[in-house]
């Protein structure tokens, strides 16, 4: 039993308000023409029209290969995604995004964190809960590949850091000297001193950066000043002469711009201004995954402060919260999250579970690969070979006309193009074997359930949904199934009665009283 979530790359939810979307189009330098961009845009706009997406902009890279991420509009699109300019990206096909599977996984993960969904106008990315696990495996490969690739780069940077080089850093107040080290830029250094002096005198950061922007000053990267850039400047130890890189820390390694007494005074003020009760935003780990066992409605984060100032956080059934039509008790946030994480951790610590999930992911790969462009190319290849064989038989039988020869040349040319297409597909879409999948799934076995980042990764990868009942009984629906059925409250209850194979039901210790 499983609960299929709407795949972020294929199905567009039917909201009444159209989602803000942009189009990314690209053609490489390998013989493609300008018209290919126009065709991509036309198909993307048609896709948007059919799927309630409102296109607000376009990003186009011309004559640039997808094998590199050094594409101006692609990088600009990534930066704009961080600023919340749009909610979705539409591309013609997957290979417009990246030919490198590892880069693709990393950038998709980055967009996902920015709340951006990806759609393909001419390709359907098949749904299925195992796809979520496969995506996690690919992200693991991306991390491994990136780490391995950057080792030599880091080694070179470390050697340069021992010589106190700038390492390409841009820091307002400094410039790169002829020896490759930091050198004071008098004009910018005056701006840094002004920021420290005004802040130490009690000026608000907002007033400081407002005046700087109005007077035409900009950050080291040419952007407008804001509260974050001001805070970074105020906390940067380079300004008191400290050079730091990884485990290298050299007093006097940089020419100082600010004296230590002023710097220490500012640090005390920054800490006082930025540390306050309730400043940290509460994160609800089970958002969009926790459901009421009585009515099936989502249970969402809720909370409040008691008379003595204590902050309490809960998950509350939406039906109870908004129309009082459900009697489900609210669940303490810390209690329910710890139980779910503990249950998942126990599952992923089992070799049997890891093997079962790996088998399901392999099945998923085989199933989805069969629907890909590769299958169509292989079918064309078989048809082409059959036609060539028939013509050769005809020639051997004495039918050797100019038209037969011409047709044979056409088919052989077509075969060469098909072979190239198959080679491209095999390179751009490698298949992971079971050993590779198990290797990366086993990283979950060594995780720390007290580490928030690990808990997020564990829940996002393996957990599809959780149903909580009034007797504190939990039903965990996992991201693997094989049957693609959608879980509802009734199917969950049937699975409990019938002992569903991939649905874990357990009764934990009673929840603390709200």
Contact by Cβ (8 Å): 119, 9: yes
Helix axis angle, 333-348 relative to 351-369, nearest 10°? 80
In this structure, the answer to whether residues 108 and 174 fall within a common structural domain is no
Long-range (24+ apart) CB contacts under 8 A made by 381-390 are 381/415, 381/418, 381/419, 381/422, 384/411, 384/414, 384/415, 384/418, 385/415, 387/411, 388/412, 388/415
- Reported as type and span, the H/E element at residue 383 is helix 373-396
What pLDDT does residue 215 have? 92
Domain range holding 379?
373-428
Q: List, as one string, the DSSP characters of 128-148.
A: -HHHHHHHHHHHHHHHHHHHH
* Residues facing residue 194 across a β-bridge: none
261 HSE (CA, 13 A, CB side): 0
The number of residues in the chain equals: 514
- Reported as type and span, the H/E element at residue 483 is none
Q: How far apart are CA 43 and CA 280, in angstroms?
A: 44
378 found inside a domain: yes
418 found inside a domain: yes
In this prediction, the residues of the chain whose per-residue pLDDT falls under 50 are: 1-15, 29-35, 64-68, 99, 125-126, 146, 276-280, 370, 427-428, 482-488, 499-501
What pLDDT does residue 33 have? 43
What pLDDT does residue 255 have? 96
pLDDT in tens, 304-354: 776 777 778 999 998 888 777 888 888 999 999 998 898 889 888 888 888
Domain final residue pick, 226, 259, 274? 274
Intra-chain end-to-end CA distance of the chain, in Å: 32
Q: List, as one string, the DSSP characters of 271-284.
A: HHHH--TT-SPP--
467: Cβ contacts below 8 Å, ≥ 6 apart: 291, 292, 293, 296, 474, 475, 477, 489, 492
In this structure, the answer to whether residues 26 and 102 fall within a common structural domain is yes
Domain final residue pick, 274, 297, 316? 274
In this structure, the answer to whether residues 184 and 262 fall within a common structural domain is yes
83 found inside a domain: yes
In this structure, the answer to whether residues 74 and 176 fall within a common structural domain is no
What pLDDT does residue 242 have? 94
2: Cβ contacts below 8 Å, ≥ 6 apart: 129, 464, 477, 478, 479, 480, 481, 483, 484, 485, 487, 502
| Residue 210's CATH number | 3.90.1750.20
Contact by Cβ (8 Å): 293, 469: yes
Task: State pTM to two decimals.
Answer: 0.45
In this structure, the answer to whether residues 168 and 257 fall within a common structural domain is yes
In this structure, the answer to whether residues 269 and 176 fall within a common structural domain is yes
Specify the pairing of strand 242-245 against strand 248-251.
antiparallel
Residue 478 DSSP one-character state: E
In this structure, the answer to whether residues 26 and 104 fall within a common structural domain is yes
99 found inside a domain: yes
């Amino acid at each position: 039993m499983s609960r299929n979530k709407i795949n972020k790359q294929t199905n567009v939810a039917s909201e009444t308000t159209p989602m803000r979307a942009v189009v990314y189009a690209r053609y490489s330098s390998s013989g493609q023409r300008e018209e290919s961009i126009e065709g991509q845009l036309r198909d993307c706009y048609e896709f948007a029209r059919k799927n309630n997406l409102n296109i607000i902009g376009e990003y186009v890279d011309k004559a640039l290969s997808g094998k590199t991420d050094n594409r101006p509009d692609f990088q600009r699109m990534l930066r704009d995604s961080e600023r919340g300019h749009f909610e979705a990206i539409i591309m013609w096909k997957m290979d417009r995004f990246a030919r490198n599977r590892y880069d693709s996984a990393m950038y998709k993960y980055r967009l996902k964190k920015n709340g951006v969904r990806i759609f393909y106008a001419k390709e359907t990315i098949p749904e299925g809960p195992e796809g979520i696990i496969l995506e996690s495996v690919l992200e693991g490969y991306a991390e491994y590949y990136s780490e391995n690739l950057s080792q030599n780069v880091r080694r070179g940077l470390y050697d340069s850091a021992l010589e106190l080089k700038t390492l390409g850093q841009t820091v307002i107040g400094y410039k790169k000297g002829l020896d490759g080290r930091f050198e004071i830029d008098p004009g910018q250094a005056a701006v840094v001193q002004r920021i420290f002096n005004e802040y130490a005198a009690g000026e608000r950061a907002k007033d400081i950066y407002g005046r700087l922007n109005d007077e035409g000053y900009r950050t080291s990267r040419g952007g407008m000043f804001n509260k974050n850039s001001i805070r970074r400047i105020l906390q940067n130890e380079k300004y008191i002469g400290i050079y730091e890189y990884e485990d290298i820390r050299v007093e006097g390694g940089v020419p100082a711009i600010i004296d230590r007494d002023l710097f220490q005074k500012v640090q005390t003020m920054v800490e006082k201004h930025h540390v306050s009760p309730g400043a940290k935003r509460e994160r609800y780990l089970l958002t969009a995954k926790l459901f009421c066992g009585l009515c099936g409605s989502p249970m969402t984060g809720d909370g409040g402060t008691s008379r003595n100032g204590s902050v309490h956080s809960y998950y509350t059934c939406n039906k109870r919260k908004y129309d009082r039509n459900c009697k489900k008790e609210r669940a303490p946030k810390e209690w329910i999250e710890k139980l779910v994480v503990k249950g998942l951790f126990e599952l992923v610590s089992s070799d049997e579970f890891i093997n079962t999930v790996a088998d399901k992911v392999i099945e998923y790969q085989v199933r989805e690969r069969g629907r890909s462009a590769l299958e169509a190319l292989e079918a064309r290849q078989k048809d082409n070979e059959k036609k060539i064989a028939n013509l050769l038989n005809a020639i051997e039988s004495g039918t050797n006309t100019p038209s037969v020869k011409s047709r044979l040349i056409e088919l052989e040319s077509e075969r060469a193009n098909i072979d190239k297409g198959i080679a491209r597909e095999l390179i751009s879409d490698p298949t992971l074997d079971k050993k590779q999948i198990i290797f990366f799934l086993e990283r979950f076995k060594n995780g720390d359930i007290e580490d928030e980042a690990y808990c997020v990764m564990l829940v996002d990868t393996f957990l599809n949904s959780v149903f909580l009942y009034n007797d504190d009984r939990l039903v965990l629906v996992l991201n693997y199934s094989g049957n693609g059925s959608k879980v509802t409250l009734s199917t969950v209850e049937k699975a409990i009665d019938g002992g569903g194979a991939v649905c874990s039901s357990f009764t934990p210790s009673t929840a603390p009283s709200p």
